[in-house]
Amino acid sequence: MKLINCTINGIETSVPEGTTILDAAREVNVNIPTLCFLNLHDIKMVNRTASCRVCLVEIEGRRNLAPACATEVFDGMKIKTDTLRAIKARRTMVELLLSDHPTDCLVCEKNRDCQLQKLAADLGVRKIKYKGHMSNYKKDSSSGALYRNLDKCIMCRRCETMCNEVQTCGILSAVDRGFETVVSPAFGRPMLDTMCTFCGQCVAVCPTAALTQV
């Protein structure tokens, strides 16, 4: 197996070819925050849509910041995960997510167990400075088993990966485009009108309260 030599925050390391920056950083105990990323080692399933952009890092010689979860290391790569530019970019990403997220944390069922909430606290986000149109979707508890609140969906697409690739049910997918995009059954149908088995695995991987159990 070919090894790739790279440097992360001044720490030299060698990792197998095809390793992402995120995994390489974890090998040398460098923490990079993530939100949409999910690695279920036991079943070898990885969700790395790089949609949340909270794992952005700087790469020497590259103009743009790169998502650590989806960028593979190359020989001689020099990575910086804790620069002011990277930290400010992550904070901006979280602020943008929160700008279209309900502010009902105290009564939310995922309060203190919400990954978005924890990430905001870790990055020192104390207020929502971006104002604009807020999503307002119809809530769905038709199945009697799952409760879907799309206003809290952050498009991490973990549930989509779990539903399609692991459970092979094929119920959830990205619907619409741009600001209107959500993860939903085709044509926005309620869950009761789909072939969903209500296994609850989508709930298990949701980082917010977009999907909860009734």
Please report which confidence band the pLDDT of residue 189 belongs to, taking 50, 70 and 90 as the band edges. Answer: very high
> For position 201, what pLDDT does the model report?
95
Condensed to tens digits (0 to 9), the pLDDT of residues 141-161 reads: 999 999 999 999 999 999 999
Select from 116, 200, 186, 128 the least CA-distant residue to 154.
116
Point out the least confidently predicted range of 41-45, 80-84, 194-198.
Answer: 41-45
* % residues pLDDT > 70 (the chain): 100
Burial 68-103 (b: 16+ CB within 10 A, else e): bbbbebeeebebebeeeebeebbbbbbbbbbebbbe
pLDDT at 197 over 90: yes
> For position 206, what pLDDT does the model report?
97
Largest CA distance in the chain: 54
Centre a 10 Å sphere on the Cβ of residue 56 and count the other Cβ atoms it contains. 25
pLDDT at 129 over 90: no
Contacts of 54 (CB under 8 A, 6+ apart): 33, 34, 35, 90, 93, 94, 119
Q: Is the pTM of this model over 0.75?
A: yes
> For position 44, what pLDDT does the model report?
81
Q: Is the Cβ–Cβ distance between 9 and 30 less than 8 Å?
A: yes
Q: What is the dihedral of CA 137, 182, 158, 151, to 10 degrees?
A: -30
- Cα distance between residue 187 and residue 85, in whole Å: 40
Q: Beta strand pairing status for 211-213 and 182-184?
A: unpaired
Please report which confidence band the pLDDT of residue 54 belongs to, taking 50, 70 and 90 as the band edges. Answer: very high
- Residue spans of beta strands (DSSP E) within 36-116: 38-40, 45-47, 56-59, 66-67, 77-80
Q: Is the Cβ–Cβ distance between 114 and 149 less than 8 Å?
A: no
pLDDT at 208 over 90: yes
* Helices 84-99 and 115-122: angle between axes, nearest 10 degrees: 140
